[in-house]
Structure 1
Amino acid sequence: MITIVRYIVIGAGAVGGTIGGRLFQAGHDVLLVARGAHHDVLRRDGLRLITPDSAQTLGVPVTRDPVRLRDGDVLVLAVKSQDTVAALDPWPRNAPVVCAQNGVANERTVLRRFERVYGMCVWLPASHLEPGVVAAYGAPKSGLLQLGRYPHGTDALCERIAADLSGSMFTGTAVPDVMRWKYAKLLGNLGNAYEALCGRAPGHEQIMKRVRAEGRAVLDAAGIAYASPEEERERRGAQVEVRPIEGVERGGGSSWQSLARSSGSIEADYLNGEIVLLGRELGVPTPANEVLRREADRAARERLSPGSMSPEALAALIDAEDRRTGPAPA
């Protein structure tokens, strides 16, 4: 069995902080990579990991700069897709990289620079809005993490990582078709921009029906396989249920959190934008996804708060784009 010396988690936010914190709790050697105020609080006070069952402060080692790699180190990349190249650029190219990220473009981007690349399909409800603090809402397991070698297959390292995750309050599974699961997750993540722009205001059903219809039409036209919603529900089962944390209000998903933190960027180019890109290549109109991509980018640049747009205003923009580009898939 392969021995992993250390997990180096690049990006210690909601996903990376939960993965790193849980692995550390289980006795694994972990190094978090963070920046800014988050790094400073982690270094001074430790990682405050709050779950439905406990709240612990963990003394996980942290750095803001690359460190000398040891044989057996694994890089776990948990930054937003728009930060992938910058986050990995300073690191030596001889380590395996696990892309614990939304979207489907990261693995190919990383493969240009690193020989051993693994995709991870992440189902992990968590938030990070305050430096040093991560709230993980999943229970009884904190997340379902499916991973495989990119572009396909599994190997001994993949199996070892899955086993370590399964011993660390996750359901870790090695799968040979990880990208099929990640494309299914992409279809679900097409709603992230809507949540960031409009919050949980009523009126999302018709918009999201259009958004996901475009996504399926584009993937079908491209011949790209994706798991069905039924397969996703069956795989997740009751292993990871979103449960409340006393005293901690749950906001939105990853894109909502980007606006809430006024980060200045958002991952819509790699979610809705992936559908737009494929649609342009194949001649399939994607007006709803284009508007969500464009408006989410604008909201991030202008540092607007989550929920700053009404569903009616968003629907009107989609209708205007639809008239300009032609009918979208039914």
Structure 2
Amino acid sequence: MRFIVYGAGAVGGVIGGRLFQAGHDVTLIARGAHRTAIHDRGLVLESPDESVTLRIPVAGHPREVGFGTGDVVLLGMKTQDTAEAVRALAASAPPDVIVTCAQNGVENERLALRSFARVYGVCVVLPAAHLRPGVVQVYSAPVGGVLDVGRYPGGTDDAAHAIAAAFRDGGFGATPRPDVMDHKYGKLLANLGNAAEVVCGPGESSRRVAALARAEGLACLHAAGIAFTEADMSVYADVLDIRPVGGRSRFGGSSVQSLQRATGSVEADYLNGEIVLLGRKHGVPTPVNELLAHMANEMARDRRPPGLVAPEEFLAAVAARS
């Protein structure tokens, strides 16, 4: 079983690096300066306990990979890039290749299933970061994170068990779950705070806004009759040991990191936007998530730093639009 990590940023880079360290066959697919740095110098994987340089094979596009029997593709890009990535993958990989979606949100699996029959969801709880080309960080050790996996749209099989076993080899908690999408919907509720971090800043300043976004999300999931399993944070606290890396604590989640890297986009349309979509379909007002998605997209597009809007200012803008 070879793992082809398509999108080797924070999450994909850490998973690929840990699998490679555990002796698994891994190929990364990365873009631009990140690909060049990995090709020329190796992938630097930093954790609270060590910094290692891993000479992992890297490609710039799926057509450079040369797919074989038993390959597992792990998608790690943000959802706004998934449709294009799946099209590129479909032009290069056999239709029976296994595709796993180690991504936030609930849209990636649907996009992958349009082109591939064997699709698996991965519910990712992984405190990772990627701010410089060729370097990724994981802020928990010795267990790097939790990567539960299941077949999409439901069930488990031999492949799900084999993938979970490989994740465990790499130092992750991993359980095959037939209801993995229930867990991903539960994770979606937590990820609604990503845009709040972008708009109001990480930490205490964004928590009130994130709680309001989550309340809208709960109302929408209930109205839509969507089953979900919320993350038991006490379990993760028992498993993960989150500490600084190189004397630096992790600053914000994946969307804040997108602003720090000035990528020009965030995945708010597929996190907060998923709740807005459900609200419009089922008659549930979602003014907080709607404005969060709008502001986060605007700030990313204009390459502004995170945290420019005070919570009071944001809530006043929500009230003015209602």
Smaller-chain TM-score bracket: over 0.9
Q: Could you tell me how far apart the structure 1 residues matched to 2:247 and 2:219 are?
A: 42
Q: State how 1:270-285 maps to structure 2 within 5 Å.
A: 270-285=270-285
**C-alpha displacement of 1:287:** 0.2
Q: State how 1:158-197 maps to structure 2 within 5 Å.
A: 158-197=160-199
**C-alpha displacement of 1:202:** 4.2
Gaps of 5+ in 2: none
Q: Using a 3 Å threshold, how does the CA distance of structure 1 residues 154 and 124 change in structure 2: closer, same or farther? A: same
Partner of 1:24: 20
Code of the aligned partner of 1:24: F
% identity of equivalent residues: 53
**C-alpha displacement of 1:203:** 4.1
RMSD: 1.3
Q: Do the aligned partners of 2:27 and 2:58 also contact (CA within 8 Å) in 1?
A: yes
Q: How many residues align?
A: 316
Q: State how 1:171-320 maps to structure 2 within 5 Å.
A: 171-200=173-202, 202-229=204-231, 232-233=232-233, 235-320=235-320
Partner of 2:77: 79
Code of the aligned partner of 1:76: L
Q: Do the aligned partners of 2:193 and 2:207 also contact (CA within 8 Å) in 1?
A: no
Instruction: Report the 3-state secondary structure (helix = DSSP H, G, I; strand = E; otherwise coil) of the residue aligned with 2:129.
Output: strand
**C-alpha displacement of 1:314:** 1.4
Q: Could you tell me how far apart the structure 2 residues matched to 1:60 and 1:45 are?
A: 10
Instruction: Report the 3-state secondary structure (helix = DSSP H, G, I; strand = E; otherwise coil) of the residue aligned with 1:241.
Output: coil
Q: Could you tell me how far apart the structure 1 residues matched to 2:203 and 2:115 are?
A: 42
Q: Could you tell me how far apart the structure 1 residues matched to 2:39 and 2:247 are?
A: 25
**TM-score under structure 2 length normalisation:** 0.95
**C-alpha displacement of 1:313:** 2.0
Instruction: Report the 3-state secondary structure (helix = DSSP H, G, I; strand = E; otherwise coil) of the residue aligned with 2:141.
Output: strand
**C-alpha displacement of 1:225:** 1.1
Pick the aligned partner of 2:145 from 143, 146, 154. Answer: 143
Q: Could you tell me how far apart the structure 2 residues matched to 1:89 and 1:104 are?
A: 18
**C-alpha displacement of 1:117:** 0.3
Partner of 1:50: 46
Q: Could you tell me how far apart the structure 2 residues matched to 1:76 and 1:202 are?
A: 33
Instruction: Report the 3-state secondary structure (helix = DSSP H, G, I; strand = E; otherwise coil) of the residue aligned with 1:298.
Output: helix
Q: Could you tell me how far apart the structure 2 residues matched to 1:103 and 1:219 are?
A: 13
Q: Using a 3 Å threshold, how does the CA distance of structure 1 residues 260 and 26 change in structure 2: closer, same or farther? A: same
Q: Could you tell me how far apart the structure 1 residues matched to 2:100 and 2:308 are?
A: 35
Gaps of 5+ in 1: 324-330
Range that drifts further, 304-313 or 163-172: 304-313
Deviations 1:66-102 (A, max 9, x none): 2221001000000000000111212223311000000
Code of the aligned partner of 2:34: H
**TM-score under structure 1 length normalisation:** 0.93
Q: Do the aligned partners of 1:201 and 1:311 also contact (CA within 8 Å) in 2?
A: no
Instruction: Report the 3-state secondary structure (helix = DSSP H, G, I; strand = E; otherwise coil) of the residue aligned with 2:219.
Output: helix
Q: Do the aligned partners of 2:288 and 2:318 also contact (CA within 8 Å) in 1?
A: yes
Pick the aligned partner of 1:122 from 124, 143, 148. Answer: 124
Pick the aligned partner of 1:64 from 55, 60, 63. Answer: 60
Q: Do the aligned partners of 1:140 and 1:239 also contact (CA within 8 Å) in 2?
A: no
Q: Could you tell me how far apart the structure 1 residues matched to 2:16 and 2:145 are?
A: 12
Deviations 1:217-259 (A, max 9, x none): 0000111111134xx2354351123211233342211000011
Q: Do the aligned partners of 2:119 and 2:151 also contact (CA within 8 Å) in 1?
A: yes
**C-alpha displacement of 1:36:** 0.5
Q: Using a 3 Å threshold, how does the CA distance of structure 1 residues 146 and 201 change in structure 2: closer, same or farther? A: closer
Q: State how 1:100-111 maps to structure 2 within 5 Å.
A: 100-111=102-113
